[in-house]
Structure 1
Amino acid sequence: MSLAAPPRTGRRTRRTRALAVGAALLIAGAVATTGGSAVASPGAEASAGAGERSTAREAAALTGTAKLYRSLGDDITFTFDAHLAAKDTDDPSKATGTFRFSHYLNGEGASAEVKVDCLVTGGKVAVVSGVITESDLEGAKGERVGVTVHDLGRKDRLGYSWASTGSPADQGPLPKCVSSAPFESVKAGTGDFRVLPWEPKL
């Protein structure tokens, strides 16, 4: 069973095509992302002695969970919890966290958990990559995958690196922070991806 392939018009194979990139179902709770999903917001720490709040924030983040829309009712979920610390703002490959994704239809499908190894964000768009550490999709474990998220409120969009091959196990070697355009739409009422923009000193 392949994880995540673009929907086909007019016909559907018996093999469930799985889509992508992180899942609340995968984490026995939720990722991400990837453990559980968190809102990407500036962090605040109490400063010693004065009780003041620090204005420092992490360099970038991608968090949240959403299901993708499919007319046949496929259950496709992505969950992200990916972060780039302020001290690592010059090196996106030092990003940490996880993301999860799953795809099920009529009781069949697969899921995967991914360890983040790169995160780049710009405005409301994020590209995250990582290596699959656990999956029930044969041949997927150990493969690097990438996902793109466009944070548009309740109309978020998503894309994934194996869009053209149909499966993470078939896409071949992938560099860090590489993915496809966010061509998929999230299911109405489920989009809560949050992107914290990266602001490197250029």
Structure 2
Amino acid sequence: MSPAAPSSSPAAPSFRRRTRATAVGAALLIATSVAATGGSAAASDGAGAGDRSTTREAAALTGTAKLYRSLGDDITFSFDAHLAAEDTGDPGRATGTFRFSHYLNGDGAFAEVKVDCLVTGGKVAVVSGVVTKSDLEGAEGERVGVTVHDLGRKDRLGYSWASTGSPVDQGPLPKCVSSAPFETVKAGTGDFTVLPWEPRL
């Protein structure tokens, strides 16, 4: 389905096979638990009681939400992606998972992804990873990327297969590559949280 309406648009995350006209979405089973975005740890610096130094992780993208669709498609994305403080200079060392799914009238697909890159700037995050599990034929082993704009209750989202309609058809993808966040989150379904990356430049 198209982000706005016509099912013929290639921009939708429909996971359609070229031989099928039904919407088959990209997959997410909502994570049973999402790590807190703070991820900071306080530790004594040895200077005396009460003196502490705090180190936060370098970047993070967490949360779950559904995308808006006028026809009622059930499209859900969930993220639990993190870049540790010690890896601030290498976004390719990010860890975690993200998941997404797209269903309409009982037809669709899901995918589970192992994170391999995370870059955030202000309230925008780009995360990528390799599909480890999916019921979309040909999706496993493919790298996909997603962009999130953290706007509170009006978050936006984009994905690397926006111009092809399916991750299977997008071709090889470098790490941390995605599209502009042109989708909008369905009201009342939750929101995403982006922890800004602050590399030493």
Same structural fold, with TM-score higher than 0.5 when normalized by the shorter chain: yes
Q: Which has the higher strand share?
A: 2
Secondary structure of the equivalent of 1:154?
A: helix
Larger gyration radius, structure 1 or structure 2: 2
Residue 16 of structure 1 pairs with residue 13 of structure 2: no
1:195/1:16 CA distance change after superposition, 3 Å: same
Contact 2:45 2:52 in 1 (8 A): no
Residue 120 of structure 1 pairs with residue 119 of structure 2: yes
CA distance in structure 2 between the partners assigned to 1:91 and 1:200 by the alignment: 9
Residue 6 of structure 1 pairs with residue 5 of structure 2: no
CA distance in structure 2 between the partners assigned to 1:106 and 1:156 by the alignment: 25
CA distance in structure 2 between the partners assigned to 1:182 and 1:148 by the alignment: 6
Residue 38 of structure 1 pairs with residue 45 of structure 2: no
Alignment coverage as a number of residue pairs: 188
Quick one: percent identity of the two aligned structures?
Answer: 78
Residue 74 of structure 1 pairs with residue 81 of structure 2: no
Contact 1:155 1:191 in 2 (8 A): no
1:107/1:61 CA distance change after superposition, 3 Å: same
Per-residue deviation at 1:40?
1.4
CA distance in structure 2 between the partners assigned to 1:42 and 1:51 by the alignment: 21
Deviates most, 57-66 or 190-199: 190-199
- Aligned counterparts, 1:19-168, within 5 A: 20=26, 23=28, 26-27=29-30, 30=31, 36-47=33-44, 50=49, 53-168=52-167
Per-residue deviation at 1:53?
4.5
CA distance in structure 1 between the partners assigned to 2:200 and 2:158 by the alignment: 28
Secondary structure of the equivalent of 1:63?
A: strand
CA distance in structure 2 between the partners assigned to 1:81 and 1:52 by the alignment: 31
- Aligned counterparts, 1:190-201, within 5 A: 190-201=189-200
TM-score, length of structure 1 as denominator length = 0.86
Contact 1:6 1:163 in 2 (8 A): no
TM-score, length of structure 2 as denominator length = 0.86
Gaps of 5+ in 1: none
When the two chains are superposed, the root-mean-square deviation of aligned CA atoms in Å is 2.0
